[in-house]
Amino acid sequence: MLDCKQASQLISQSLDRPLTLHERFALKLHLFICEFCRQFSRHMQTLRVAIKNLTGSIENNDAIEMSSEAKKSIADMIEAHRPQL
Amino acid sequence: MATANMHDWLNDHGDFLYRFALARLRDPHLAEDVVQETFLAAIKSPDFAGQSAPRTWLTGILKHKIIDVMRKNMREIAASDLMTDEDANMDEFFDETGHWAEPQLAWDMPEGALEQKQFLDVLQTCMDKLPNKLAQLFLMRDVHETDNEEICKELNISTTNAWVMLYRARMGLRKCLEINWLGA
């Protein structure tokens, strides 16, 4: 019989690898009787969706720009590599 | 590559590349560094012959530069205490019988736009509290859905180590969200 610690590890790993038949069965059985682990499992799904939203909000946020120093340093670097005629 | 073109690319794609890197590395300085390295590689590369859009081509280079940074980070993390025990010592979360030390409370991502923004702000704060290397690995897996085996190969870590680290990241984030979202 799984305890909650083991169950939570399997729930996390189920996001990273296919569980074995035995693991899936043991986890299902545990979730059937354990409200907290069911809750934890839902939290893991929520977390995955939320973190995607967060990343998307960074990637698509036009207000986030490179510092002008960094831009200048890249522009200088491009100039320094200007082919000599 | 022509110098004039490069300046155009910096203007047109620089900030996009920066945000792409920032979303994955979560560190402004690291993100700026990899963008700079990307342009340096682009200058030196004879490969670009217009077969793909410049942004696609630059993003391809950037991805490799990001992986390089993460690989270096993972070498450091491997020697640190984050990875010393295989079994992920999670004593703060469980009692001695393996049961949750505290109840798992019911919460979910809110529906409304404003509340969702607040929720993501809390998540952002929680990500900042996570050791950055752990955050990077977590992002690589849960956001970019890089295959677990591929991550391990790229970063030169064992799959078991990756599972343990991802478990820790998720446990830490969940706990932080619960405290700061429900407590807000």
Q: A45, A70, A28: which is closest to B108 by C-alpha? A: A45
ipTM (interface predicted TM):
0.86
How many other C-beta atoms lie within 10 A of the C-beta of residue A83? 8
Q: Using CA atoms, how far apart are residues B30 and B49, in angstroms rounded to an integer? A: 29
Residues B64-71, mean pLDDT to the nearest whole number? 89
Query: A-chain residues within 8 Å CB-CB of B182?
Result: none
Q: Is residue A10 part of a domain?
A: yes
3-state secondary structure B100-141: ECCCCCCCCCCCCHHHHHHHHHHHHHHHHHCCHHHHHHHHHH
A47/B contact by beta carbon, under 8 A: yes
Per the model's pLDDT, the better-predicted residue between B30 and B132 turns out to be: B30
DSSP B180: I
A20/B contact by beta carbon, under 8 A: no
User: Structure tokens of B141?
Assistant: 């897996």
Residues B71-77, mean pLDDT to the nearest whole number? 76
pLDDT band for B38, please (50, 70, 90 cuts).
very high
Domains and CATH numbers, chain B: 3-76 (1.10.1740.10), 81-182 (no CATH)
Distance from B108 to chain A by nearest Cα, in Å? Answer: 7
Q: Would the pLDDT of B147 be above 90?
A: no
Q: Is residue A12 part of a domain?
A: yes
Of B20, B107, B148, the CB nearest to A16: B148
Taking an 8 Å cut-off on Cβ atoms, the answer to whether A55 and B167 are in contact is: no
At residue A28, the pLDDT reads 97
Q: Would the pLDDT of B13 be above 60?
A: yes
At residue B87, the pLDDT reads 45
Distance from B51 to chain A by nearest Cα, in Å? Answer: 22
Closest residue on chain B to A8 (Cα): B167
Structural domain boundaries, residue A45: 4-80
The structural domain count of chain A equals 1
At residue A38, the pLDDT reads 96
Residues B123-152, mean pLDDT to the nearest whole number? 84
pLDDT, one tens digit per residue, over B93-134 is 999 889 999 888 888 888 888 898 899 999 999 998 888 878
Of A44, A46, A75, the CB nearest to B109: A46
Taking an 8 Å cut-off on Cβ atoms, the answer to whether A15 and B159 are in contact is: no
Q: Chain-wide mean pLDDT for chain A?
A: 93
Q: Is residue A85 part of a domain?
A: no
Lowest mean pLDDT among A21-25, B53-57, B155-159, B165-169: B155-159
Q: Would the pLDDT of B2 be above 80?
A: no
